[in-house]
Structure 1
Amino acid sequence: MRRFPLAIAILLSLTAAALAQPPTTALVIVEGLTWQQVERGEIGGLYVLSQYGATGLMSIGASGNDAASRFALTLQTGRRLVLPREGTVEAVRRRYPKVRWLTDELARAGVTVTLHLETSQQQVRALLAPSFSPPSPSAQLQIWWIAGEPATISRALERAISPLNPERDRLLIIGLPPAGERLAPVIAAGGELRTGVLTSQTTRTEGLVSDVDIAPTLLRWHGLGPHVGEHPMRVVAQEPLVTVKHLARLSRWNAQGLIPLGALQVGGGLLAVLAALQLIRQRRVPQRASLVLSVAIGTLLSLPAGTVIAPYLPAGRFAQYAAHVLLSAWGLSLLAHWGAWHEPFRAYVRACALSVLVVVVDAVSGQHGVQSSVYSAYALSGIRFYGIGNEMMGVLVGCALAWGLFGLKATWRAVVWFISALVLATPVWGANLGGLLTAATGLGCTWEWSRKRRMPRPQRCAQWLLMGMLAAFGMMWVDSLSASPSHIGETWLRWQAEGFTAIVDTLLSKLALMSRVLLSPFAWGVLLVIGVALWAMGRSGTLTAWRNGWRGEYLPWLVCMGAAFVFNDSGFVPAAAILGVGVGALLTRRLQEVQHGSSA
């Protein structure tokens, strides 16, 4: 009986000591961890945590040999910055003098940062280590960096998690996926966090967050406010495994289908060009052959719209998903040919109109289709997760140009082009200022040409460009005043906060992205195919003889292509889309003229 009061005293003292300990946040980065491993329960208790915690997928911008260092830099700065060649902390601070340092901010707030890294991760340790320690710590952040086989990872996770108090402490587990994957699992648990799926203002997509959201989340958890343009993760009450599984499956299907679908569109387009030229050379086009070729061209044109429709349709396998894309495109082509079976050009213009309607309607109703499209692939790029990307922007501008020029009178042409520019510019719909400048310059100059049927003066095109730039800056300013600005408004706020350095950094990042696109093998492959198609059309006389040599008809397409290339960071993509739509319009019109024996 004498020991009983002593045991109670010891228990009370241990409880008081535990309560006196500062709250702990454990950030665990696991190299090579994929969502499939979590879903199958291959590593420790991650499956249980994913069921009872907050779960999502995280877009990781880092890839390649220096993925770990770049991810550590994003964790520290809350931005996807280019790691200087030296790779040192001093070089990073010199290059980005106004970028905040996460561990230093936490240390100033009284948070002790402890690193648990392997000895081989010296550069990562240097990037993550705080420059000083707080004199009187009120909380602690433990950063664990784990790599190895599943069994090794399980043991390391147990060491990181076992000391935590689920009522007081928080846990954030992030996978650093292997090469070739850009989506990683992320699990948050403990404290006041409830069961659900993770999201953020960065992505505006339930179940999806970005690596730039880690730093503001840790700041918020420790009572600090995020900086301009930063958004902490938040939990949405949803079924975690169902939502994340669907998102992971759709992203995986998009990754699997991007190259085959792109090859089908590019290769099929080249075959269609050669087949159409062969029929045009014969000066006699059989109706059946013309119909088959016209439907095929309409299907190729409608493939981007088909990728917007397919995510709305239920699919359990990749084959079903791919079939939905192809059948949707084929259905749009057949719908465009309804009542115009032997008029290829008229059907082509209708197909352009249907593509415009599909993209615009989806944009103003939440962008689920554009967001999940194979060609948009926001979850794979990790740059932006809402609005209309440059891929669909090129399709929208090109199809709106064809529909307005060849299918509408002046008043309705102006309405369609204005709506296209408005949808692209509005942050809640398109959030694409490059698309706004493309539409303002390209469609504006085309409007001048369509009124007088002669080449507009450069001063008029410059005026349209100036109006587009003023509208873009005005849109950025208005968006910056909203309660939840998009990346457009946040860019304006960052320019205001950081000045000229932020503007230069934005321009350099755009140029870097453009250079990566131009140096990609896919880009040069598309250029090769386009070059072969134009060469074949030139040899056949189509380019020089169409409309009695009136080359002014090509001007609208050239202006829109040039505007798309100049005003977008991956400008090759929308420029190629506009060129493809223009070549299709040229061929189908010439095909219809030859088939009917007169001018269409």
Structure 2
Amino acid sequence: MRKKKILPAILLLFVALVALPEAAGAAPEPPNRPVVLVLVDGLSWEEVQREPALRSLFEEGSSATLSTVQGERPEAPRAAYLLLGAGSRTDTAVLPRELPPEPAAAGRALSARVPSIQPGSFGEALKRAGVRAAAIGEGARAVVMDRGGRVPLLYEGERPVHELGTALAAGVGFVAAEAEGPAEAGRLVEAAAGRGALVAVASPNAPPGAANLTPFAVSGRRGLLYSPSTRTAGLVAGQDVAPTLLARMGLEIPPAMQGRPVEVRPGSPEDARRLAERLSFVAEERHRTTAWALALSLLPFGASLLLLGRGAASPYLLALAVMPAATLPAAALPPVSPLLAAALITGLATSTAWVLWRLTGGGPAAAAAAFLTNAGVLAVDAASGGELMRFSILGYNPAYGARFYGIGNECSAILAGSLATGLGALAALRRPRAVPLALAGAGVVAALGMPTMGADVGGSLALGLGLGVAAGLVREGGVRAAAGWAAAGGAAAAALFAASPLLFPRTSHGSRAAAGEIGLHEMVLRKLELALSTFESWPLLLLLAVLSAVVWAGWRGARGTPLAAGLAGAALTAALYAALNDSGLLAGLYALFYPAVAGLLVLSGEIKAPR
């Protein structure tokens, strides 16, 4: 009887401890003074350092790097201002290319394209609370207007400092002022602070050609801003600006806003600036670094293949399989040149593959060790919230803003492809037992899908289904067993998604969708639209044909063995990732790469298992 009471108590304690970090750090008390938001487009950290008033605000207040928009810079720059006022964000690829000149009509056009985004939400919240607002400039109007495009006081912005003084003298509670550049922004900050206002500085759009990262600061307590949206001290999303200002004023945050109020944690503007450098490197140099890493990895592989034969080249081929895991330790170092980062990644991957090859004696054991090591490292990092993955060249891109925490689409697909392929290589040595296999599979599905861990709903479902098929096939149970295992894996992922709003309310985008706070149908359609657009790229389709041919050839070479069953299961997992992930074909190719590597090893005669 006592045991029955103890187990629920332990479970409740575990849930409370997991949820505690999200509840900690309540917003500061609302100030009994007006709030001024200074908007300056294209602001950089260098300009903050050069302008004394801005530098003083950042040093004496709380600061962060602001991820402005999700995706590329909007073709219509006003879209970023409307999103700021909506307290929400979406991939700019789905936004209208052009917006009507009238702000209310522009807001309606944006909402028609993405119904979950409601420009004017910030202004509506101010109006409901009886806070009189003013806007200086058309950009500021887009931020502070209500749903009808109205602002109680609207100034043209010809003399922003003078108009700011006029608005504050009229007793307004909130002013949004648009500045032409850093110098004018500094004058606005000085004028607002001189009148006792709480001041915030934000840039809706980053400088042209740069990563989507700009400086952001709020006067008051000194430190770094932390947002539950990003789970990274010193990094705030554009959607958080409006909820943060409302919280500072003690006002209710509309349910339509996707952003969260920020809190202040220890740190300095220099910490935020260095974080911006690291994230900019991830955003701007990831493809170049990846290309260098692949080129450096192929050099020893090609040389060994030409000079020593296929067998000698196999360990270097496995270096490609563990390369994603090698990017995580490299991400812990300060930003360096793409070539140096690639050399470090290649060195780690090659040495790891060689050690595994020597320890296992090569063959299927080496392949299984390499694939499962790669999957294990990624799974552990996903379970810890992606602490290293956020700075990896193969991880998500915080500057792009598609994901700020958990596991990104690419790494999720890499984990799934390497895990399913590794399972096939392991089965070539010994038939895996059902119970350990089920426990391991459930653990990885949870690591991907739990909101406080990987937070990848689509990846968790694709992995549950795909890994289930692979498990049923490698255990030689046939199609019926594969269907049963897949049903169990898919059910586990679906149950985790359904329970997420109860266990971790408002913790992630997925848990909010499961709770009905975000339109699930609309979210699925938008992700499907993004996924289908990837199939329009002929280089990706060509790569799909090449990888598929290699997997097919490898499957034929190992036909009738558990290894072949693993290749089939991994290929199906890749197809599921392409279908259930908004990265579409790109995610499918990342997953398909691993059965293709195993296929090459089969063709070389290294891991061909006995029939």
Q: Same fold (TM over 0.5)?
A: yes
Q: Deviations over 1:339-366 (max 9, x none)?
A: 346x254322211122122112323345
Closer, same or farther: CA 345–587 of 1 in aligned 2, 3 Å: farther
Report deviation, 1:448.
1.8
Please list the CA deviations of residues 117-158 of structure 1 after superposition, one character each: whole Å capped at 9, or x if unmatched: 26x999789789852539x986422222234xxxxx244124
CA contact (8 A) 1:219 1:226 kept: yes
Aligned to 2:7: none
Tell me, in whole angstroms, the C-alpha distance in 2 between the residues paired with 1:467 and 1:582: 25
Which among 19, 24, 31 is matched to residue 34 of structure 2?
24
- Using the alignment, how far apart are the partners of 2:201 and 2:38 within structure 1? 5
Q: 1:460-495: CA deviations, max 9, x gaps?
A: 4773475146324333333444xx6222222233x1
- Whether the 8 Å CA contact 2:302–2:313 is kept in 1: the answer is no
Work out which of the residue numbers 399, 415, 418 in structure 1 matches 2:442: 418
- Aligned partners of 2:594 and 2:54: how far apart in 1? 48
Question: In structure 1, what is the equivalent of residue 216 of structure 2?
Answer: 187
AA at the equivalent of 2:541: L
Q: Give the match's secondary structure for 1:55.
A: strand
Distance 1:25 1:254 in 2: 35
Aligned ranges 1:387-406 → 2 under 5 Å:
387-406=406-425
1:59 maps to 2:81: no
The answer to whether structure 1 residue 379 and structure 2 residue 398 are counterparts is yes
1:169-210 C-alpha deviation (Å, 9 max, x unpaired): 2111123212333333333243xx211111210000011010
Q: Greater CA radius of gyration, 1 or 2?
A: 1
Q: Distance in 1 between matches of 2:313 and 2:240?
A: 49
CA-to-aligned-CA distance 1:492-543 (integer Å, 9 cap, x gap): 33x1x57xxx233312331243245444x5xx434323424555787xx655
User: Secondary structure, in 3 states, of the residue corresponding to 1:385?
Assistant: coil
Q: How do residues 131-150 of structure 1 correspond to structure 2 at under 5 angstroms?
A: 131=150, 133=152, 139-147=172-180
Q: Distance in 1 between matches of 2:414 and 2:117?
A: 38
Distance 1:35 1:569 in 2: 33
Q: How many Å separate the matches in 2 of 1:236 and 1:213?
A: 16
2:309 maps to 1:295: no
Structure 1 residue 310 displacement after superposition: 1.1
Map Cα deviations across residues 387-423 of structure 1 (whole Å, 9 max, x no partner).
Answer: 1111111111112112222226423433432322121
Match in the other structure for 1:428: 452
Deviating more after overlay: 45-54 vs 575-584: 45-54
Judged with a 3 Å threshold, the aligned counterparts in structure 2 of structure 1 residues 360 and 24 are, in CA distance, closer, same or farther, namely same
The separation in 1 between residues aligned to 2:525 and 2:559, in whole angstroms, is 43
Distance of aligned partners of 1:459 and 1:398 in 2 relative to their CA distance in 1, 3 Å threshold: closer
Q: Where in structure 2 are the equivalents of 1:430-579 lying within 5 Å?
A: 430-452=454-476, 454-456=478-480, 460=484, 463-464=487-488, 467-468=491-492, 470-481=494-505, 485-493=507-515, 495=516, 497=517, 502-519=519-536, 524-532=538-546, 534-535=548-549, 544-547=556-559, 554-579=567-592
Equivalents in 1 of 2:503, 2:397: separation in Å?
Answer: 21
Secondary structure, counterpart of 2:459 in structure 1: helix
User: Normalised by the size of structure 1, how large is the TM-score?
Assistant: 0.80
Deviation at 1:227, TM superposition (A): 3.6
Question: What is the 5 A alignment of 1:11-410?
Answer: 23-38=33-48, 41-61=49-69, 63-64=72-73, 66-81=75-90, 83=95, 87=100, 89-90=104-105, 92-93=107-108, 95=112, 96=115, 99=118, 101-117=121-137, 131=150, 133=152, 139-147=172-180, 153-165=181-193, 168-175=196-203, 176-190=205-219, 193-228=220-255, 229-241=258-270, 243-264=271-292, 288-290=308-310, 292-313=312-333, 319-340=339-360, 343-407=362-426, 409-410=431-432
Contact 2:450 2:496 in 1 (8 A): no
Give the SS at the match of 2:478. coil
| Mapped partners of 2:286, 2:60: distance in 1 | 34
Inter-CA distance 164–137: structure 2 relative to 1 (3 Å threshold): closer
- Aligned residue identity for 1:37: E
**Which letter maps to 2:176?**
I
Asked whether the equivalents of residues 37 and 43 of structure 1 are also in contact (C-alpha less than 8 Å), the reply is yes
Partners of 1:377 and 1:549 lie apart in 2 by: 36
SS in 2 for 1:186: strand
Q: Would the alpha carbon gap of residues 338 and 322 (structure 1) be closer, same or farther in structure 2, given more than 3 Å must change? A: same
CA contact (8 A) 1:195 1:240 kept: no
**Aligned mates of 1:450, 1:543 — CA distance in 2:** 13
Moved more, 57-66 or 231-240: 57-66
Separation in 2 of the partners of 1:174 and 1:194? 17
- Structure 1: which amino acid aligns with 2:217? A
Contact 2:445 2:463 in 1 (8 A): yes
Secondary structure in structure 2 of the residue aligned to 1:180: coil
2:378 partner letter: V
Using a 3 Å threshold, how does the CA distance of structure 1 residues 157 and 83 change in structure 2: closer, same or farther? same
Whole-angstrom distance in 2 between the partners of 1:195 and 1:512: 43
Rounded to whole Å, the distance in 1 between the matches of 2:218 and 2:462 is 45
Structure 1 partner of 2:161: none
8 Å CA contact 2:85, 2:142 repeated in 1: no
Amino acid at match of 2:559: R
Give yes or no for contact 2:125–2:253 (8 Å, CA) kept in 1: no
What is the alpha-carbon distance in structure 2 between the residues aligned to residue 220 and residue 67 of structure 1?
29
SS of 2:398's partner is: helix
Provide the C-alpha distance between the structure 1 equivalents of 2:375 and 2:566, rounded to a whole number of angstroms.
Answer: 22
Coordinate RMSD, CA, aligned = 3.7
Give the whole-Å Cα distance in 2 for the aligned partners of 1:558 and 1:174.
46
Equivalent residue letter for 1:570: S
Secondary structure of the structure 2 residue equivalent to 1:178: coil
| 3-state SS, counterpart of residue 253 of structure 2 | coil
Give, in angstroms, the shift of residue 249 of structure 1: 2.1
Q: How far apart in 2 are the matches of 1:463 and 1:322?
A: 41
Instruction: Tell me the amino acid that sits aligned with residue 420 of structure 1.
Output: V
Contact 2:40/2:202 (<8 A) preserved = yes
Q: Answer whether contact 1:55 1:198 (CA < 8 A) is retained.
A: yes
Residue 270 of structure 1: how far off its partner (Å): 9.0
Distance 1:503 1:368, change over 3 A: closer
Counterparts of 2:474 and 2:483, CA distance in 1: 17
Contact kept, 8 Å, 1:52 with 1:195, in 2: the verdict is yes
C-alpha separation between the residues in 1 aligned to 2:406 and 2:418?
18
Deviations 1:245-266 (A, max 9, x none): 3312211222343112443567
1:184–1:545 CA distance, 2 compared to 1 (3 A): closer
Q: Which residue of 2 aligns with 1:3?
A: none
Cα deviation for residue 166 of structure 1 reads 6.1
Distance across 2 between alignment mates of 1:42 and 1:352: 50
User: Is the 1:44–1:154 Cα contact (8 Å) retained in structure 2?
Assistant: no
Aligned AA (2:206): P
Gaps of 5+ in 2: 1-30, 154-168
Structure 1 unmatched runs, 5+: 1-20, 148-152, 280-285
Shift of the alpha carbon at 1:102?
0.9
Secondary structure of 2:50 counterpart: coil
Verify the 8 A CA contact 2:465 2:573 in the aligned structure 1: yes
Distance (Å, rounded) in 1 between the aligned partners of 2:140 and 2:175: 16
- Indicate conservation of the 8 Å contact 1:198/1:236, yes or no: yes
